[in-house]
Amino acid sequence: MRSFTSKIATRSVPVRCYTNQSVSAASNPHGKHYQAPQSTKAERSEAIESLARKGAVIVDLRFTDFHGTMQHIQIPVSQFGVSAFENGFGFDGSSIRGWQAINESDMLLLPIPQSLKMDPFTRHPTATFNCSVVDPVSKEPYSRDPRFVALKSVEYLKESQIASIVNIGAEVEFFIFDDMSYSVEANQASYSLDSSEAHWNSHKKHSGHYKIRAKEGYFPTKPWDQLQDVRTEIVRNLEGQGFEVEASHHEVAAAGQCEIDFKFDDLVATADNVQQFKYVARNTASNEGKTITFMPKPIASDNGSGMHTHVSLHRQDGSNMFTGESYAGLSEMGLHFVGGLMAHAKSICAFSNPTINSYKRLVPGFEAPINYAYSGRNRSAAIRIPISHPKARRLEFRTPDPSCNPYLSFSAILMAGLDGIQRKLHPGNPLDSDIYSLSKEALANIPKAPGSLEEALDALEKDHAYLLAGNVFSQDVVEMWLERKRGEIDVWRKQPTPWEFKMYYDC
């Protein structure tokens, strides 16, 4: 659930300047030279002064790997001067999943001074910076740095002259568990999750009488909602990191499913915020003796976690380009953006729903957004146009889940929508009826989300030209993504599961 205020149209996001050496033509078959981010002298000096004011003793340099995991390295503040923002710090790129080969492993992290924050979870005062990943010799940005892909997608939007700003809002759902364990060995496989508020604990002595029944976890008060204080602690820590938190609540699944909504921002900033959100949530829960997962479907018989993604395009003055006189108050541009999403939805899923587990959420017969239709108030459609003030008009793409790399997922969504605008792809008629109540014959005519990660990857292999426009996604990125994800499928195929023993051991 998200309130997504009307500020979306009135807030003007400043244009960032990226000025540095450009990428080589050899790595850029489309002829587009993008530049690595570079800060101003004043920004670098202010960051160094802030380190002293805040009493930092360690500088933590962070970046996101290809799969979407935050990585880091620590530098003593005594070794961190103004030159660090230009000279950077080296690391072994061959040790990061899906990145460099061993014979060309050296890479460089360039800290982004504007991203300075103090980490609330460390024993010693620690300052953190997000980083750009570049070649140590040429200082050219690295094609597989997902944040660089996101920067390129925004630059491509501006150069297309379709719009100046893309705003993204992400509704991140997650589970908080009291305990979890798993084992995957040659001779055994098992997992166990537990939540004190879950219905399966109702038989235990001294466990309390207030348990949430399956699929009835949406909005109960205490004592059913036993996670309110943990969520509040997460909210306080997020606000301390500069987040504008809008709401916090229990979600539908009975055993610890939650959602905390924070304010939208431009595409790159929201992707940064999703990564920081995960960091803050996990560490807060750990301090409370609990564990958080953004895995889409951890519980077999209850709702899974999504990451509904809100999108709108704006002029430089902030005016909303999706507002018009067409269906649900959309402009023709907004409808064409929907058309692009629907045309490329299956291949988008390779990035927005990138795990094998993602497709245990995207199954027929439940509330999962698997039907590629668009509608106004109808939450059973994969693409929704929420009721909003004209200044806040937006699209809500409900299929993505929080296991995704947000830089790649948001970029793929933007590129699909822009392709729809450029080709004037109309999405057809809206579907305002309850999709779940339709007959099998009617449902057969509605396009569906992929039924597996393998199907999504096959769709990406066939349909990725729209991602290559302007070299936003390089061919190298697409091919490596396919290779890495198909590798996961190969391992999974060879691993028996407990369910198979239950079903087939006595066959």
Q: What is the pLDDT of residues 356-381, one digit of tens each?
A: 999 999 987 667 899 999 998 777 78
Q: Which residues contact 467 (CB under 8 A, 6 or more apart)?
A: 347, 412, 415, 473, 478
Under the banding of pLDDT at 50, 70 and 90, the label for residue 32 is low
Q: Indicate whether 311 pLDDT > 50.
A: yes
Listed residue (274, 273, 310) closest to 388, CA to CA: 310
Q: Is residue 24 over pLDDT 70? A: no
What's the whole-model pTM score?
0.91
Q: Which of 250-259, 278-287, 431-440, 474-483 has the lowest mean pLDDT?
A: 431-440
Average pLDDT, the chain: 89
Whether 138 has a pLDDT exceeding 90, the answer reads no
- pLDDT of 10 > 60? The answer is no
Q: Does residue 20 register a pLDDT over 60?
A: no
| Residue corresponding to tokens 């959420």 | 361
* pLDDT exceeds 50 at position 2: no
Specify the DSSP element, H or E, that contains 239.
helix 228-240
Task: Report pLDDT for 205.
Answer: 67
Rounded mean pLDDT, 471-486: 97
For residue 158, name the pLDDT band (cuts at 50, 70, 90).
very high
Q: How confident is the model at residue 256 (pLDDT cuts 50, 70, 90)?
A: very high
State the average pLDDT over residues 97-118.
88
Instruction: Name 10's Cβ contacts closer than 8 Å, sequence gap at least 6.
Output: 318, 391
Residue type at 366 in one-letter notation: F
Q: Please give the pLDDT value at position 35.
A: 65
Pick the residue with more confidence: 208 or 450?
450
DSSP per residue, 353-406: S-STTHHHHS-TTSS---B--EESS-TTSSEE-----GGG--EEE----TTS-H
Which residue type does 483 have?
E
User: Across the strands, what pairs with 62?
Assistant: 72, 130
pLDDT digits (tens, 9 = 90+) for 70-83: 999 999 999 999 99
Residues annotated as catalytic are 92, 171, 173, 251, 259, 308, 379, 396, 398
Name the band, by pLDDT with cuts 50, 70 and 90, for residue 25.
very low
Q: Which of 107-111, 193-197, 211-215, 422-426 has the lowest mean pLDDT?
A: 211-215
Interval 182-234: pLDDT, tens: 999 999 999 999 999 988 888 876 667 788 888 888 888 898 999 999 999 99
At residue 36, the pLDDT reads: 63
Angstrom distance (rounded) from CA 86 to CA 89: 9
For residue 2 the two structure tokens come to 């998200």
What's the pLDDT at 207? 65
| Alpha carbon distance 78, 396 (integer Å) | 46
Give the pLDDT score at 21: 30
Element at 466 (helix H, strand E):
helix 465-468
CB 128 within 8 A of CB 118: yes
| The predicted structure's pLDDT at residue 202 | 83
Using the predicted structure, report yes or no on whether residue 12 has a pLDDT greater than 50: no
pLDDT surpasses 80 at 3: no
- In the predicted model, what is the mean pLDDT of residues 37-64? 93
Q: Domains of the chain, with CATH numbers?
A: 37-139 (3.10.20.70), 165-504 (3.30.590.10)
Give ∠ CA 279-282-284 in degrees, rounded to 5: 100
